[in-house]
Amino acid sequence: MIKKLSLVLVASTVLVVKSFAHDFWVDGYNSSTFKAILGYGHEFPYPEKISKDKLNNFEALVLIDKNMKSNTLKQSGENYQYVYNKALDDGTYILKGTYKPTFWTKTKDNKWHMGKTKKDLENSQYCEEYSSFAKNIINIGDDNSEISTNIIGQKLEILLLENPSTFKVGTPFKVKVLLDGKPAKKIDVKGTFDGFGENKFAFYGTTDLKGEIEITALKSGKWILMVKNKELYKNDSCDEVVYSSSLTFIIK
């Protein structure tokens, strides 16, 4: 049975969950050329300038067209801004972002050290190898093709089972979570929408044994879904391998 989850908007009945340190998402829109955003911050969907020491943690954004051809975008403007060389034709596209595997170690003075493991620091108390994946479904014009349901091979991936152009407020839609291409069973799914509030999630649920969850949106606008998975690290130089993934789309 598919888990069902309503996106409740009444304050007294909403489960509010604090986000982890920085959320990672991608977003894009058509202008004279296609423009894309690498979001890394605390308030979706508003990007923040990325600190110079973290810029190399991110791969360049990639745009996937209807033929599943990948196009690497060019960074231009603020360090979170990317562009394609032209405006997009009508259709559905996938925008992909990747935060490369990076060691983060916390010392006993509660400070985090990037690129260091427990073997590098004498007073370490916790270490994780963190990587993150982001995906945005972009609908240009009136298109409901199935490209949005294609698997793009992210380690941890959130998959829509229908094109979001068909989503309606009050009508349930299905989401599937994949880990290494297989259903991620009993994994927590969090989500929020533009305007709900900084560092808060408007809903929370858990996938079923098929890795699926059914969601009913009660508001139109920009949405983000997020998942996280932890595994033990392979040796004692670090504690955990942590993956997070986000999916953004628009409900009209």
Per-residue confidence at 197, pLDDT binned at 50, 70, 90?
low
Q: What's the rounded mean pLDDT across residues 173-187?
A: 97
Per-residue confidence at 21, pLDDT binned at 50, 70, 90?
low
Pick from 235, 249, 46, 247: nearest CA to 151: 247
CA distance 76 to 46: 17
Res 219: pLDDT: 87
Q: What residues does each domain of the chain span?
A: 23-251
Residue 13 DSSP SS3: helix
User: Looking at the whole model, is its pTM more than 0.85?
Assistant: yes
- Position 246, amino acid: S
Pick from 186, 182, 119, 128: nearest CA to 155: 182
215 or 180, higher pLDDT: 180
Res 199: pLDDT: 67
CA distance 243 to 231: 9
